[in-house]
Amino acid sequence: MDSSHEPFLDIMEDTNDLMIHPHDIWFVAWDSWNIEHQTIDQAPKYIGEDSLDAYVQIIRGWLQQWVSSNSCPIIHQQLYRMQMPRCMQNAFMACAVYFSRTSSNKSTVFHIINDQAGDLIQQHTTQTLGVATLTLAEHLARVQTLLIFQIIRLFDGDIRMRARAEMDNPVLTSWNTEMWQLASRILPAADWSAVIPGSTDSSSTLWKAWCLSESIRRTWLTTSILQSVYTTIRDGISACPGGVFCTFGNELWDATSDFEWGMRTTSGKNLYFLQSMGIGQLLVDAAATEVDDFGHAFMLISQGLEKKQRWTMK
């Protein structure tokens, strides 16, 4: 890949001698990378069509938020602050064009988006050096890019776009799995001074490390859920995609500096870094105002619209 367009979180760089030991970092603990599934004795929850539709609209709204505000609940404001990878630039432009489409130009817009998705997949299919050469940040960027294209194409309603997107779903699943496997292997054991280039103090390094880790977690979970949601809408049923640890508290994602992030992590407030399969407990343990937008969306799709509304109104 073109190194001039790598994300600022380049896993392969080593730029200082700062040592931060993995056992001191709560958000990359080994067991936090386990994917949990429902046990045999757990009956799957029925999530109604209204909840599925509401979740899709929320996710599509996040893409509009990204274009207008340069961040959203799955794309952190810090992640591509210095440099945005070329594939994410293409996704950004595709979103901007898509959400400003007209009845006169929508056919052209759809062709462009399909071509961009096809080019992305073709690029990674024909790379001579193979997947092993990708940094973790590059894995994240390609999953986020294809996820964005899938959000647009699967749920727009255009038959041709949806058909093309269905063909690409296995690729997204594969890339998502490869990203998670790499993250779960290297992040718990990482020397964060090597992982995060340009950091001069531990607070800056920790913040950037959390941004990377949390972005991977949210991207994996959103990708898995969205594919399950689409299958459920189409077929009436879908397998449980599994759950992972994420930060659902409203304190950290919107922090704009390492100082602010550090203050919030030590404020004494619950960060709600927990296994997503157990988020239903927040209906009892947390006020809706303590949970961020990502948590609210997951609460909706995991517990249903009615329960989520009752919780919000408490």
CA-based nearest residue to 90, from 136, 137, 146: 146
6 vs 276, higher pLDDT: 276
Do the domain assignments include residue 300? no
Domain contains 28: no
CB atoms within 10 A of CB 173: 14
Residue 273 lies in a domain: no
Query: Poorest-confidence range of 42-51, 67-76, 100-109, 285-294?
Result: 42-51
Task: Tell whether 276 is covered by a domain.
Answer: no
In the three-class reduction of DSSP (H, G, I as helix; E, B as strand; rest coil), residue 157 is classed as: coil
pLDDT at 8: 45
pLDDT value for 201: 56
pLDDT given at position 40? 59
Which pLDDT score is estimated for 218?
99
Residue 62 lies in a domain: yes
The H or E element spanning position 282 is helix 282-285
pLDDT at 277 over 90: yes
- CA 215 – CA 254 distance, rounded (Å): 13
Q: Which pairing describes strands 273-275 and 245-247: parallel, antiparallel, or unpaired?
A: antiparallel
CA count, 13 A, side-chain hemisphere, 138? 18
Question: Which tokens hold the place of 153?
Answer: 């194409």
The reply to whether 229 falls in a domain is yes
Residue 269, domain member (yes or no): no
Q: Is residue 288 part of a domain?
A: no
pLDDT (tens digit per residue) in 18-57? 344 444 588 999 999 999 987 755 656 778 999 999 999 9
Q: In the prediction, which pLDDT does 125 show?
A: 82
Residue 245: other Cβ atoms inside 10 A: 25
Residues spanned by the domain of 214? 3-10+48-235
Q: How far apart are CA 187 and CA 89, in angstroms?
A: 26
3-class SS of residue 131 = helix
Q: What is the mean pLDDT of residues 126-147?
A: 82
Number of domains making up the chain? 1
Q: Answer whether residue 206 shows pLDDT above 50.
A: yes
Considering only residues 230 and 44, tell me which one the structure prediction assigns the higher pLDDT: 230
For 216, 238, 294, the CA distances from 184, given in Å and listed in that order, are: 10, 26, 22
What residues have CB less than 8 Å from 4, skipping those under 6 apart? 83
